[in-house]
Structure formats: C-alpha cells, structure tokens
Chains A and B, each alone.
Chain A
Amino acid sequence: MPEHNHCQEFLSQISDYLDNNIDPLTCAELEKHLVDCPNCRVFVDTLKKTVYLYQQREADINIPSEVRERLFKVLSLDDLIR
C-alpha cells in the first residue's frame, strides 16, 4: 500500500474518517473503496484497534489515593479533602 490512487487518497483522509469528520459523499466513496481493497481494510481496522487498545488501557488508570492526599497537603487543603 498504496497500490493505487484510491489508497493514497484514503490514507490522506484516514484521521478525518476515524473521527467522523468528513462529508457523507466522501465517506461513502471511501467505504466503497474499503470493500474493494483488503489492504486498506486491514489498515483501517488495525488503526481503529490501536486507538481502542489505548483507550481501554487509559480507562483502567486512576489517580492513586495517596497521590491525591499528598496533592491536597501540598496545596494546604488537607482539611478539605473529601
């Protein structure tokens, strides 16, 4: 990839496509291209999955309670911690 012009066009618009930020006509054209082009299909699927995996990982992270307590202390707000 890119094997032909459609692939290059797809690549240039991939971020907008992922963010649902393209007009419906262009979107329909890109999706038609995806049906015909296995390489671009794998590319877009793995790109979506990449973002998804990071989002999943992020959802599991929280501020540790001791970090929060020390922060309130540094800010002299420890009497107001909830």
Chain B
Amino acid sequence: MQEREPISIKALKAGDREAFAAMVDEYSPKLYKLALRMLGDPLEAEDILQEAFLKAYRGLENFRGGSKLSTWLYRITANEALMRLRKRELDTVPVDEPLLLEDGAEIPRELKDWCCLPEAELMSAEAQGTLDIAINSLSPALRAAFVLRDLHGLSTREAAEVLQISEAAIKTRLLRARLQLREILSSYFSERMERTSNART
C-alpha cells in the first residue's frame, strides 16, 4: 500500500484537534468504502465509520506505533464491521471459515470465456447488481480478505495484521473468495452470452 504518513502521532496523542481532523480527512474515504463493501448498506457503513473514529479517538493513547496508523484504523473499522455482521448473521451463517480447502471443494465449474463480452455488458446496471449480490454472498471472513487485498491493495502482511490472522489464512481466504466470485460471475455472464446469441438467431 502506497502511503504518505504526514500526520504526527505525537500531535494526535497530545489531543491536537487539527491533527485528528487531518487524520479523519485522509482516511475516512478509504474506511467508508471498506465499511460499505463489508456491510453492503450505506446507512450501516456510515454508522460503522462514525463508531470507528470515535473508538480511534478514545484509543489513541494506547496506539503504540507498532503498526502503521492506517493499519490500526483499518483494524478498528474491520472489527466494527465484522461485529455488526456477527450480530446480523448470528444464527444463520458461520462467520469464520475453515482454514484449509477441502479436496475438490473449489474446483472451477463454469468454463465459458465471457471476457470478450463488450464493456457495456460487463458494466451494465444489471451486471453491477450481480457483482453486489456475489460479494454479499461471501462469508464475512472471505469478504474481508478480498476487500482488503484486492480492493484496497493491502499486502498479505498488512491484511493479516488488520484481521489478526496468519498470512497463510489470508492467502487461503483470498483464494476462496476469488474463486467463489468468479464462479458466480461466470454463471451470470455465460447466461448473458447465451441470451445475446439467442436474440441474434
């Protein structure tokens, strides 16, 4: 992750409001996007964002600087989002994923090449809706790994620090997330291709 860290930790810890405002200014867009992708709901994402910065404000004195400021803020936000999802899905979906792939569990099934579809098809409102449905169908653990690594560009190590799991676990979760998303999008776009070719004949 490319990052400038011009914000003085010393000033933050001393309660400097301008330093805190600069931190909010710099990180709120990223953290909002993280919360939005995790929760899939703008109102809840805003709630998580506010809660995360309030926690950061109260927790600043305990920030040791062992990790980067951004990683620390990501961790607080991801934790808030995962807690919210746990509450939401308490009796339905398990939040934690087994770390190992079962044999054959992730073998690709859809192998139609839909990459050649025109950009307008790939980016249509209906396709975007399918992207949302697909990502929301991932377990929170897989979604978090995918969002941090592929959408926010964190390294495996940074994502592991944020989620407080091993780097091996991040890699496994990322692989599973990517494979599951590919499978869902492949079903959708293969069907689109068939619809288009049927319409032509």
> Which of A's residues lie within 8 Å of B, judged by CB?
1-2, 11, 14-16, 18, 39, 42-43, 45-47, 49-51, 53-58, 61-64, 67-68, 70-72, 74-75, 77, 80-82
Contacts and interface: CB of A to CB of B under 8 A. Distances in A.
Contacts of A74: 50, 53-54
A1 to B, nearest CB: 6
Nearest to A66: B46
Interface of B: 17-18, 20-21, 24-25, 28-29, 32-33, 36-37, 42, 46, 49-50, 53-54, 57, 106-108, 110-115, 122-123, 127-128, 131, 135, 146, 150-151, 171, 174-175, 178-179, 181-182, 185-186
Given A1-B107, A43-B108, A74-B50, A53 B32 contact: no
B24 A39 contact: no
A47 B182 contact: yes
B107 A2 contact: yes
Given A11-B108, A14-B175, 17 more contacts: A1-B108, A1-B111, A11-B106, A18-B178, A43-B108, A43-B111, A46-B115, A49-B122, A51-B178, A54-B150, A55-B151, A63-B28, A67-B49, A72-B21, A75-B24, A77-B17, A77-B24
Contacts of A18: 178
A77 B36 CA distance: 23
Contacts of B106: 11
Contact of B186 (A46, A62, A67): A46
Instruction: Pick the most buried of A50, A53, A55, A75: most chain B CB atoms within 10 A of its CB.
Output: A50
Given A74-B54, A75-B53, A15 B115 contact: no
A78 to B, nearest CB: 10
A56 B123 contact: yes
B155 to A, nearest CB: 10
A39 B120 CA distance: 25
Given A43-B108, A53-B122, A57-B128, A67 B46 contact: yes
A56 to B, nearest CB: 7
A55 B57 CA distance: 31
Given A43-B108, A46-B185, A53-B185, A71 B178 contact: no
Contact of B32 (A15, A49, A67, A82): A67
